[in-house]
Structure formats: C-alpha cells, structure tokens
Amino acid sequence: MNNTKNLILALLTAIIPVVAMPYDFKEGGLCFNFNADGKSVTLTYERLIMFAHDAPPPSEKGLIGDVVIPSKVQHDGKTYKVTAIDRETFMANSELKSVIIPNSVKTIGRGAFAQCFSLKNVVLPADLTEISDYMFVESHLTEITIPAKVKRIGEHAFNSSSLKSIAIPNSVTEIGKSAFSACRWMESATLGNSVKTIGEAAFSICPSLRSINLPASLCEIGEQAFFEGGMEAITIPAATTKIGSGAFIHCNNLATLQVDKSNKVYDSRNNCNAVIETATGTLVAGCNISVIPEGVTKIGSEAFYGHKGIYSLNLPSTVTEIGDKAFFYCDNLKEVNLPNSVTTIGERAFCGCDSLETVIIPNSVKRIGYSAFLHNKKLRSVTLGSAVTQIDAWAFKGLNNLKSFTTKIADAGTVKLGKDVFDEIDKQACTLYVPRGSAASYKAAPQWQDFKNIVEQ
C-alpha cells in the first residue's frame, strides 16, 4: 500500500509544472502586486507555491546591500505609484544594509524588515501612520526617525534591535506590547505628549535605559512594562489610572518612584518612593529604597519582585495581605518583620529570598500560599503562628539548611496541607517544635509525621 502511494505521489510530482509566483509582475528585480484602484502597486517578494521536483527553487535572498525603493514603476507601458510594502517582504534578509522608502508609501506590512540582521539604516516615508507589528524585530538598527504622522508603534516592532535612543513623536498615542523589549543598548527614550498607552513589556529588558519621560497624557502602563529597566527616576503622571502588575520589577537603579500629586487613583504618600492605589491601600510598585507607610493594607502582586537592594523589611500594622510574588527573588533580603495584622501570605511571596535566615509568621496569618518560601537556601528557623488553617503545596519546600520549625498550632489535624509542603527539608536534622500536649497529633498527621524529632515545648 505504501509503495503504491509513493509511486502515485512521484508520478504527480513529475508532471506538475512550475506554477507562477504570487505576484503580478516584476520590474528591475522587484516584485509587485496591483492594488484594487488599478493605479498603484504594493512591493512584495518572490514566494514559491509549487514547482516540479526537478526545477530549481527561486532565489529567496531578496534585495541586498543599500536599497532605494522607487516611488513609481512602469509596466506594459503604464506607470504605477508604489503605495505599500507587503508583510514580510524583506524578512530574514541578512544582506540588506539600508533602505530608503519613498513618501509615496503609506503602509508597511507586519514583519516587513524582521530579522534583517545587517540592517542599520532606514528612511521611513513621511505619511506613514503606523509602525506595524514585528516590523523591525531583531534588526540591527542603531537609530531611526519615526515620522510625525505615526499614531501607533506596533507589538514587538523594535524588539531585540540595536537602537541606542528613540524619540516618539507627538502623533503617537499607543506603544504596543514588547515594542522595544530587549533593546539592550537603548540609553534614552523620549515619549511625545500624546502617548496614552504603554503596552505590556514595552520597554522590558532594557538595562541601559537610564532616562525616560512619562508624558502627562499617559493613561495606562502595561504589565512588566519596564521589567529589568535601568531607569533611575520615574514619576507617574496625573492622568495614569491603570498600572499593570510588575510594571517596575527588577529595576534596581530606581531611586525615585513618585506619583504626581494630582493623580486621583495612585499616590506616593509621605514621599515613600512607592506607588499606592489610593482607594484600596494596595502598594502596587516599590523600589529598593521604598518605605512602606502606615495605611497600606496590601503589598500587591510582584510589587518588589527581584529588587536586590532590599536588605530588611518592616511592614506597618495596617498590612493584612502580602500578594503573590510580592518579594519574589529579593535575594539580599535578610530580615522580615511581619506584623500581627497579616492574614494571608500569597503564592511565591518570598520564594527565592536566599538571604533570609529567620522567619516568624504571626498568629494572625491563616493561609500560606503555594511555594511561599520555596528554596530559601539560608533559612534556618521558621516559627508558625497559631491561626494557620491552610498551607499550600511546596510552601516550605527546599529549605535545605532548616534546623528548627516551631509551630504554635495546637492540633495538626486542623491544618489543611497541600502537596509536599515540607519536601526537601532534612527531617532528620530539623527539629519540629510543637505545643505541649500536641505531639501525638503531629506524629499521626500526614507530612508532619515525617519529621524524626518532634519535641513539645
């Protein structure tokens, strides 16, 4: 059966002729498609649909070196205006060095110059209104001038490019998701006075980015917008009403983080160098030198994620909740003072805090989230308050150097344990201290009973 099938396929392949490329005509080595108006064309590229098995495939190298795209092209005695560049036209062209695009071009398709690793200079047309998604992703552009009519910078537009600076004109209202992500050599960004939205991870992984202005027009900052940015000072404008989770995580140079006093949604009360959601008292973003003020009720998700300049932590008595990943990988954090007001410690809240040696969880805490203290390598002593009713999976997993675990819970059977809460703890070397009269309940309870030394005190 298989031999017959293969024979049929071979015969079909042998008789299939070369099919025309999906462009209308070719002039001067360039491929074009007619537009609907019959008067203009779109620059496109050679794409093979199907060809005989013994026919050589067409060259996919495309245009190389320094390219000047014409504003008009003649074909069959007629002149056509070049008004567009098709999506992916120059994609992965490793020999393209520079491009001059005429002002006749109004639109440039998605990924038109993506992965052009040798591309260093581009002149964009004056009437362009959008930098499309992925247009210059992974190109080696070191500089570019954004035309004054562009309204949107697309998703991943300059991701992983070699830009050293960028000036966003006043016409732009939106900077898309990951638009300048991983521009590792970018030192400054100047945003025009109409930008309303900075998308998710728009300037993430830009460690050289020391200077950026957030214009008065800015309404929204996306999640992880400045993740691993090198900024030294940020002021949240009065118009900003939405800041995504982890917007400033791993910004270890950030010494000033303030909110405009006219902002009605966020504040930086008492010059705390943090961003607080006024209505809820949630601290949504902090930095290495933040001082958490009274009145804060929650440390928000990823608020201090990855900040390496935090060495000690004192939370005010108003805090009731520590959000997911709030202090995730603050690996220089040595001391934590949790007030007797905290009721919830979120998922991975202190995961990766490798310098912590002692943790005292107050009697107010009822729930400890998934992986809350996972893999804290130097943690030697944990004290668990009396009110805990739920400890989620892996909460204390991987505490290799833990020597004592003290619990004030009178009956181990009242605590709901997730999977492998104490996994990878040396239960021979670590002593479990329990309240007087409760040893029997711990010796009978799953996971607790794995500790070899259970001592009442």
Could you tell me the two tokens for 318?
């108003």
Sign (positive or negative) of CA dihedral 107, 109, 111, 112:
negative
Check: CB of residue 368 under 8 Å from CB of residue 346: no
- Nearest of 367, 332, 370, 319 to residue 348 by alpha carbon: 370
- Asked if residue 108 belongs to a domain, the reply is no
CB neighbours of residue 220 within 10 Å:
17
CA dist 124 and 143 (Å) reads 12
- 347 in a domain, yes or no? yes
Q: 46 in a domain, yes or no?
A: no
Q: What is the mean pLDDT of each run of 10 residues along the chain (457 residues)?
A: 43 40 84 96 73 39 80 96 96 92 98 94 97 96 97 98 97 98 97 98 97 97 97 97 95 94 97 97 95 97 94 95 97 95 98 96 98 96 98 97 98 98 98 98 98 97
Report if residue 425 sits inside a domain: yes
6 burial (CB, 10 Å; 0-12 / 13-18 / 19+) is exposed
In a domain, 266, yes or no: no
Beta strand ranges found along 183-294 (DSSP E)? 188-190, 197-198, 211-212, 220-221, 233-236, 242-243, 256-259, 266-267, 274-277, 282-286
Instruction: Say which DSSP state 212 is in.
Output: E
Whole-number pLDDT of residue 22: 73
What confidence score (pLDDT) does residue 319 get?
98
Residue 438's CATH number: 3.80.10.10
Q: Which residues pair with 455 in a beta bridge?
A: 433
Q: Which of 255, 320, 250, 262 is nearest to 290 (CA)?
A: 255
Q: Tell me, what's the pLDDT at 402?
A: 98
Residue 428 is predicted with a pLDDT of 97
Distance separating alpha carbons of residues 168 and 144, to the nearest angstrom: 10
Assigned domain for 170 exists: no
Query: What's residue 94's pLDDT?
Result: 87
Residue-level length of the chain: 457
At residue 44, the pLDDT reads 94
Are the C-beta atoms of residues 212 and 192 closer than 8 Å to each other? Answer: no
Distance from CA of residue 30 to its chain's centroid?
Answer: 38
End-to-end CA distance of the chain: give it in Å, rounded: 78
Residue pointed to by tokens 């005989």:
52
Cα dihedral sign, 56-60-63-65 = negative
Tally of domains within the chain: 1
172 assigned to some structural domain: no
Cα 397 from chain centroid (whole Å) = 27
Which residue range forms the structural domain that includes residue 450?
A: 310-457
Whether residue 187 is contained in a domain is answered as no
